[in-house]
Homo-oligomer: A and B are copies of this chain.
Amino acid sequence: MKFIHTSDWHIGRQLHNQSLLDDQRHVLSQIVALAKTHEVDALVVAGDIYDRSVPPANAVALLDEILNQVVNELGIKTILIAGNHDGHERLGFASRQMQESGLHITGPLTAKISPIKINSPSGEALFYPLPYAEPATVRTVFDCDAASHEAAMATLLAQVSDDDSQGLPKVVVSHCFLDGGSESDSERPLSIGGADKISPSLFNDFSYTALGHLHGPQYKGAEHIRYSGSILKYSFSEQHQNKSVTLVDIDAAGKASIELLPLTPLRDVRIIEGELSKLLADGIKDPHREDYLMVRLSDKNAILDAMGKLRTVYPNVLHLERTGLMAQSEQLAIRADHIKKGELEMFSDFFSQVAGDAMTDEQQALMVDILDTLHKSEDNQ
């Protein structure tokens, strides 16, 4: 039997105040198309469906649209669990009424973990949806004394192990932080100081573990204990990641084979570096100049409205770093006598950009006089 494992959709998320809803619709539609092409039996989304516990209404509408396509139009069974970003009660509302349609949403953790059986001509498997749960929640729901994330997960997995699957492969769906996993800037830590880390070996005995939380695709411990990664780059730290969904094929013996199906974003998220003039010249020829960009300008002179100039070529510059200027200001801070010269240089840059020409010697001498007068009046105060 075949299914697609994905996670960390974070629908409704913004990147540097830029709505990503169109970008999310673009890749979610690819997932729908991949599910159809590969004729999968199920779609599994391992948490962080929304970015916030109260998602904006248009995020809710987008998820509704995608689920209509997958569940109703394609007739593919769909399993969603709540992640640490999701509002568990809100996401889990009316989930019991959705089950008959083939949509299985697990919101709050319950004492009975009910497996979902997916039948297909090519085989069967039981899926165990474990929503994200703090150790305190596990203690309350299971009346146990699990102190750590690891102990809490062990409690949940004991239920899964004890469940009689009548020989069918078991697939665990979970949202947690496995020890040794690579983080990105866009994940919200589950707890402070590493107390959230869980040993991958807990999951050894299951046919496959579909994980969510970490945004880079990766496996830990063994190939069948795997993070699909997020559907988009949600921070510039992810610029070199290749986003994908995981196609999982489980054979009759319960052995999982894995293939990564790449996702192509509407706009990539990347960092460009260099001098303004060069970046502007390069940009005109860049077919991907509408990507979401962080720009690091190496120019050492002041530039009037650098962001405005960049956006004439790269409309989606989201963040600007003046790396050249930062290095210079560090020098200035060390040598106090440079401060005055700094002002003259700054004005000189400003003048040449506004006037189109550099200052004449006469103009420059006048400016030095003005600066001196200003500084003297400051000293007298």
Chain A residues with a Cβ under 8 A of chain B = 53-54, 57-58, 60-61, 63-64, 67-68, 71-72, 87-90, 92-94, 96-103, 105
Contacts and interface: CB of A to CB of B under 8 A. Distances in A.
Contact of A96 (B57, B60, B72): B72
Nearest to A101: B97
22 contacts: A53-B57, A54-B54, A57-B87, A57-B88, A58-B89, A60-B90, A64-B89, A64-B92, A64-B94, A64-B96, A67-B94, A71-B97, A72-B97, A94-B94, A94-B98, A94-B105, A97-B101, A97-B102, A98-B98, A99-B101, A100-B100, A100-B101
A78 to B, nearest CB: 9
A60 B72 contact: no
Contacts of A88: 57
A92 B94 CA distance: 11
Given A97-B98, A97-B103, A100-B101, A89 B71 contact: no
Contacts of A102: 97
A164 B96 CA distance: 33
A-B CB proximity, top 10 nearest:
A97-B101, A57-B89, A97-B98, A100-B100, A97-B103, A61-B89, A60-B89, A60-B93, A64-B93, A100-B101
Nearest to A94: B98
A88 B61 CA distance: 10
A6 to B, nearest CB: 18
Contacts of A94: 64, 67, 94, 98, 103, 105
Contact of A97 (B58, B67, B87, B92): B67
A81 B72 CA distance: 22
Given A60-B89, A64-B93, A94-B105, 15 more contacts: A54-B54, A57-B88, A57-B89, A64-B94, A68-B96, A72-B97, A93-B93, A94-B94, A94-B98, A96-B101, A97-B101, A98-B101, A99-B101, A100-B100, A101-B101
Nearest to A98: B97
A93 B103 CA distance: 12
A54 to B, nearest CB: 5
Nearest to A54: B54
B101 A57 contact: no
Given A54-B54, A57-B87, A63 B93 contact: yes
Contacts of A53: 57
Contacts of A87: 57
Nearest to A102: B97
A332 B87 CA distance: 55
A88 B87 CA distance: 18
Contacts of A97: 67, 71-72, 97-98, 101-103
A71 B99 CA distance: 13
A302 to B, nearest CB: 46
Contacts of A103: 94, 97
A53 B56 CA distance: 11
A7 to B, nearest CB: 19
A114 to B, nearest CB: 14
A327 to B, nearest CB: 47
A256 B342 CA distance: 87
Nearest to A87: B57
A87 B64 CA distance: 14
Nearest to A56: B89
A326 B93 CA distance: 49
